[in-house]
Structure 1
Amino acid sequence: MGISEVRCDVLVAGAYFADLIFRDLPRTVAAGRETFAGGFEMLPGGAFNPAMALHRLGDDVVWATDFGDDAFSRHVLAGARAAGLDESGFRHHPGPLRSVTVVLSDADDRAMVSFQDPVTPRPVEELVRVHRPNILVLPELRYGPGVVETLRAVRDAGTLIFMDCQDVPVTLETATVREVLAHVDVFAPNIDEALSLTGVATADEAATLLGELVGTVVIKRGEQGAFALRAGARFTVPAVPVRVVDTTGSGDCFNAGFVHGVLAEWDLPRCLAAAVACGSAAATAPGSGGALDAGELPAWLAMVGPVSST
């Protein structure tokens, strides 16, 4: 099979991170004070999470990312191989390429501090030309010179674009952000990101503003579940009640559940329910360790509360 004939379900284009997760914190971490965590894990993270979660759900995934020869790269690469991920999108560099996040996690939320060695990623339009995905997943909001042209080329190739936000410090008034979002098919910020991006006070206002730019807006609301807006129709799904261990990988697994539903040609309410099921399950284990597989998804979907629409 020639390169031009390759087609995968999903291309995830994004950096790896090694997540150092300090959890079960007895008190809020503050400057000048030492706090001992009740648990600790070092786990693969970053774009590994949605790629692995989609793979577990049975979708054909290529993860495009860069690795160095440092300990963090080796750790995540070993995790990707153990998970059985396709390596055709991996690029290996001599020397260190460190991407690491320290996560301070409790049952309610988490704080993160990250570091990343600079690297120029492979151009997205080239990746799409090689792998010809049905859906491109971008784990963070991309903006700036050339991004609009790239996204236009991706859509012209027949690929749907799913974009997360990931606390990127921009607003709708930042140059190119509105134009970028106008070339995105599904945009999925969490509630804090949506409010910060739009500068409004409520989730409904944020969704309305974003819905003027993006075909489908999905807003994650943590323990309150999520809602989606498409063509003026709104759907709300409550979260599945779980004992929260760590929320680090929940948003990524939420995204995977939604994308899985799109690939299965489910309607928007069922895609949203799948997203909530996958995100809720992820919170029951550190990192993305609670990601569902295809056999587990139906039982979790059955636990999702009724979808309401307005």
Structure 2
Amino acid sequence: MPAPAVVTVGSAVLDQIYTLSNLPEPDGGAFVRDHTTAVGGVAANVASGLAGFGTGTGIITRFGGDSASEIKTDLNARGIDCTRGRTGSEESSYTLVLRGPDGGRMIVAGGESVPNLRLADADLEYLSDAEVVFTSAYAPDAVVSKLVTARERGVISTLVFDLAGPLSELEGRGTAPSTIDRILSVGDLFVVGTVAARSYFGGEIEDAVDALAERSVSRAAVTQGNDGAILLEGDTVTPIPAFEVAIEDTTGAGDAFTAGLIQTWLLEESPAREAGRFAAAAAALNCTTAHARKQLPTDSDIREFLTNH
């Protein structure tokens, strides 16, 4: 079997999705109008997005014994290679996704399977055959540190990192600030959203863009939801507007955007503006259906959307 073009490393979990009457304020309440379960997690979502584009994709993750079969069945059905996934006896990692009536959401994570993930020598050999390796700050620091070292030594050729959450959320389970510092000097694409950018860089989005430019990050994307995104490549800053669509659920939109960037900016070597528009279209289409991966857009879906916008 040929090596996948992209391997994602990190979380593949069960999402417990609650549609609420309202997103509660502190000390407030809400009523559950609907509840469902779906497979999610940043690594699984990005892998699924790329597989939907027709790109060969694999995943390295750790399943808990109580959900391994369900998650692997879903990933295999999407054509994702799960041979480097492993199953532990601990409680599965999970997320509670609280959806408001306007598509906004709050996400709470728990469980131990993903924090217990570690990389073996065989994993690094598998990764060395991939064109692109993706991971996020939700992967354990021991894993991300090993990936950074592998990139520094040329074991893996291209490393994409998503600073997926604020530092307070990552403490004790995800990537440490010192490792994020190392990624900025060696990573090939650094992705960060508004909340995580403010937490790590301080200040506003403009400050994060300036900081990334000062550190000479080869490529970066600062995402801002409805306000679009900013792509950086060397000294060039490219603003990418968001597309207006009827929003059903914003869960997974950022992961769809990242998958779109990997596909076009890295694998296809498209110019930043073209890659950004493709990624923004992927994110927009992802928002038009419920759940992070209920109906991921294909390459042809996105091309058709772009033709009409």
The TM-score by the shorter chain falls in which range? Answer: 0.7 to 0.9
Instruction: Tell me the equivalent position of 2:269.
Output: 265
Q: Which amino acid aligns with 2:123?
A: L
Asked if the contact 2:163/2:196 (under 8 Å) is kept, the reply is yes
Q: 1:225 to 1:125 in 2, by over 3 A?
A: farther
Residue 108 of structure 1: how far off its partner (Å) = 5.4
Instruction: Tell me the equivalent position of 2:59.
Output: 63
| Structure 1: 5+ residue stretches without partners | 305-310
- Distance (Å, rounded) in 2 between the aligned partners of 1:290 and 1:300: 15
Q: Which amino acid aligns with 2:283?
A: G
Instruction: Tell me the equivalent position of 1:167.
Output: 165
Post-superposition Cα deviations, 1:204-251, rounded to whole Å, max 9, x if no partner, equal 221110233321110111111111011121111211111111111111
Secondary structure class of the residue paired with 1:98 = coil
Instruction: Tell me the equivalent position of 1:138.
Output: 135
- Distance (Å, rounded) in 2 between the aligned partners of 1:227 and 1:184: 17
Post-superposition Cα deviations, 1:67-90, rounded to whole Å, max 9, x if no partner, equal 2320x3333222213323222222
1:80 aligns with 2:75: yes
- Distance (Å, rounded) in 2 between the aligned partners of 1:86 and 1:116: 23
Q: 1:149 to 1:87 in 2, by over 3 A?
A: closer
Q: Which of residues 27, 32, 38 is equivalent to 1:37?
A: 32
Residue 252 of structure 1: how far off its partner (Å) = 0.8
Q: Which amino acid aligns with 2:158?
A: L
Instruction: Give the 5 Å matches for 1:274-293.
Output: 274-285=278-289, 286-293=291-298
1:153 aligns with 2:158: no
Instruction: Tell me the equivalent position of 2:225.
Output: 222
Q: 1:126 to 1:209 in 2, by over 3 A?
A: farther
Give the TM-score normalised by structure 1. Answer: 0.85
Q: Which of residues 95, 102, 107 is equivalent to 1:101?
A: 95
Post-superposition Cα deviations, 1:263-304, rounded to whole Å, max 9, x if no partner, equal 112111111111111111111112222321122121123355
Q: 1:198 to 1:104 in 2, by over 3 A?
A: same
- Distance (Å, rounded) in 2 between the aligned partners of 1:189 and 1:27: 27
Residue 259 of structure 1: how far off its partner (Å) = 0.5
Residue 105 of structure 1: how far off its partner (Å) = 1.6
- Distance (Å, rounded) in 1 between the aligned partners of 2:87 and 2:13: 15
Residue 31 of structure 1: how far off its partner (Å) = 5.8
Q: 1:234 to 1:73 in 2, by over 3 A?
A: same
Residue 102 of structure 1: how far off its partner (Å) = 0.7
Secondary structure class of the residue paired with 2:226 = helix
Secondary structure class of the residue paired with 1:137 = strand
Asked if the contact 1:142/1:180 (under 8 Å) is kept, the reply is no
Give the TM-score normalised by structure 2. Answer: 0.86
- Distance (Å, rounded) in 1 between the aligned partners of 2:83 and 2:180: 31
Instruction: Tell me the equivalent position of 1:209.
Output: 211
Post-superposition Cα deviations, 1:145-193, rounded to whole Å, max 9, x if no partner, equal 785564142351352111101114169x943432232111111111221
- Distance (Å, rounded) in 2 between the aligned partners of 1:265 and 1:163: 18
Q: Which amino acid aligns with 1:137?
A: F
- Distance (Å, rounded) in 1 between the aligned partners of 2:262 and 2:182: 23
1:49 aligns with 2:45: yes
- Distance (Å, rounded) in 2 between the aligned partners of 1:145 and 1:74: 26
Secondary structure class of the residue paired with 1:295 = helix
| Structure 2: 5+ residue stretches without partners | 171-175
Residue range with higher mean Cα deviation, 102-111 or 183-192: 102-111
Asked if the contact 1:250/1:288 (under 8 Å) is kept, the reply is no
Asked if the contact 1:124/1:150 (under 8 Å) is kept, the reply is no
* RMSD over aligned Cα atoms: 2.6
Q: Which amino acid aligns with 1:267?
A: P
Q: Which of residues 11, 22, 44 is equivalent to 1:27?
A: 22
The count of aligned residue pairs is 295
- Distance (Å, rounded) in 2 between the aligned partners of 1:124 and 1:162: 20
Secondary structure class of the residue paired with 2:280 = helix
